[in-house]
Amino acid sequence: MSEVFGLFPTPFLRAPGVLDPRLVSALVEHFSASAVRENNASANLSHTSMLRPGDSPLLVEAAALITPRLAEFGALLFGEALGWSIKEMWVNLLDTGGRQSMHNHANSFISGVVYLTPTHPDSRTVFMKSPGGTEFSFKNDHAGVVTGPYNAEKWVSPQPEPGDLVLFPSYLMHAVPPNPGPRRITMAFNAIPTRLDSWGYAINFAG
């Protein structure tokens, strides 16, 4: 009997309602006015400067709720329960017609997004295979192809609700399609473990 094994799958964690409505509302109210930095991906996309949890009591509260999920997800990536810290956070405002081009996050191991407002179904975060992947150079791509987990080039994340959290490896390419709905506000962040040890060769990270 034939068996199919999914070799080296990429984990993606979704945790509904990690931030409660009160905190979500406070984050939107406090940071919307300071999200004035332009993004070259779209004229209708802006964000705050890079922030640390200690920059605001609201971020401290949010980080305290997110960090246990980082430990849970980090154990999948590294096989051990490690200490984790959020090194930077920022709030994104995606107005009608705005988009975010394909990118990943450098100098971190886990990245995440907390959705702070309702998201139009057409502007859900999309995750993609790396352009430098190991797929065949000649594709089988036509109207009759059935797309599955082993031949898909992209994956559209589930419909989020305000307060929902997603975590993914920082190397994973992702983008946001053009937003046909009202303003979409998210809080993104990058995280690092306190320490990694490879048979005695250890690196300590400063948060």
Spans of all domains in the chain? 13-130+152-195
Cα 119 from Cα 38, distance rounded (Å):
21
Question: Within a 10 A sphere around the Cβ of 190, how many other Cβ atoms?
Answer: 19
User: What is the pLDDT at residue 134?
Assistant: 62
Tell the CATH superfamily of the 13-130+152-195 domain.
q2cbj1_9rhob like domain (2.60.120.620)
What does each of the 207 residues of the chain score in pLDDT, given as a tens digit? 999 999 999 999 999 999 999 999 999 999 999 999 988 888 999 999 999 999 999 999 999 999 999 999 999 999 999 999 999 999 999 999 999 999 999 999 999 999 999 999 999 999 998 877 666 667 888 999 999 988 898 999 999 999 999 999 999 999 999 999 999 999 999 999 999 999 999 999 876
Cα 168 from Cα 105, distance rounded (Å):
10
Pairing of strands 184-193, 110-115: antiparallel
Cα 170 from Cα 76, distance rounded (Å):
14
Inter-residue contact 11 to 73 (CB < 8 Å): yes
Q: How would DSSP label each residue in 8-32?
A: SPPP-EEETTSS-HHHHHHHHHHHG
Going along 3-162, which residue ranges are E strands? 13-15, 37-39, 42-47, 84-94, 100-103, 110-115, 126-128, 154-156
